[in-house]
Structure 1
């Protein structure tokens, strides 16, 4: 069996290398030449510029970004010519009704799901830093037809420990954006509480710890805002489907949180931002709210220093910031997990010798 992964970004790379480790003959397609060069430099070979170079795979797995109006995923679908009986599995996140749009794009070119080939939606799942591969977590499986779903189950069953088949492909689409939408809501709730603590002189860390002493409750921690590529995009998909005032309020809460962090720097000149990546420990600043804040503060005329061991001084300088020394003197410090300290508070902490206080 030959498999081709279309879209070899973070998810696609993990998928491609995981398939190969399991003994599957797998190649990739990545249209971005810089990304292909980076993959080659990292020792990931067999990644081509277009589907025509990939031969005639038995399985196509799409992990490309969805794109505005599904433009990226539609472009990928229109580039494929699945052979008779092939499986096309879309792992990219889709809005509700997205798989039907992809099926129609195939039909327009004479490829009929469930007849000439199989079309399935198996939303990807991986929590980087916790799970090693895209095959570690249970996966939801759906198909445009029952035969399409069965073909996907047959392919994934040897790879994934737990499969959860659903009858309607819209349930699979919704399940993915609900997962991320629920996390968005929980973070936005925590951000609102964080703001309340700031405004009323309360210790957020103590509130967070106190609430989480109840076993069935988890109050999430807060960061520089809800960033990354997935959560804001998926919240948009969910709001498109639900048109819910609850979701609208969550988006507004996150926007207010980010605006509040910027305002707090008001009178301060020298600012240290401790952590610039989109999530701690991963050297990727794309879609990073921390980077967004640092850039905003620099635009406000602040001297912005950044300390992030995941990036190092050279990368921080390339991004346009001064490298910061955590032991240096600053008027305001943004820490991660999010805490905001002034120079006066830092001096008080340095004089306080009580253990753990």
Structure 2
């Protein structure tokens, strides 16, 4: 009889230990989830969502953030096809990942609802165009902002909450903080004036070339300042989006360095094309060999995306070359994808390094 009781107690203890050892997400799966999204709206979910759709503008950047979490892939049931880069990025994880890109560009609320999502993740700018319709259908939405580093960190925190992996969210934010601190620690504190820097977005439409500069509050401007440069365009920009500038204004600024962004082509080839122009050749930056094409892989690294840290690192190297000697960005990129996405070196060499562009 005593042996029977002992055996029963042992079984009860084992079941108790097994329950205690369940992952945090499984234990909390039936508990309500509450958070405040990037629009300042409260979001309450009865349990962890098991089917998530990502849609709307900047879907590729949202996917880049979500895939920082290993648990995300199993829960994503739909992705809007906003860009070929999304499919290429997902293929780096597994061929089946890209099959999740199953919504056409501009998909509306009804198309999204057909996938029966427990949650839809949208950029804040999609609240009226798509979000209002989803709310009418009773589908929960997590809005993300992704405009500044602090907003990206808040978005990562909220994504971690809905995935039931707040521990990973904190780890990601800490990893970014450590790398940023290491870079900033190498940027020299100089009594001399910071170099005057110009960051330009280049675009071409039916042969007409346009140049634009970013707002003061946007990530591009912040990255230049963090890297030790003086954004020479700050006094001229308007609030809102990119501000167009002409060649006369660029020549008047005559900055020490120019960083050229091209979201539709190879930025380094764009720089070569610009330097064929005699007006560009007269700029101090051209004479000193300091006009650079902003680099990237799937997308340009100047954007509010998981890769902002690569853009910051690259700017720091270009603005402070004496402090960052012999930096090999193939190594930097390899370490980034190992650290943040847990990709192996073979996958990185095969699927990511060949995509690198810009003045690396």
Interval containing the TM-score (normalised by the shorter chain): 0.3 to 0.5
Q: TM-score, normalised by structure 2?
A: 0.36
Task: Give the structure, 1 or 2, with the largest relative contact order (CA under 8 Å, sep 6 or more).
Answer: 2
Q: TM-score, normalised by structure 1?
A: 0.36
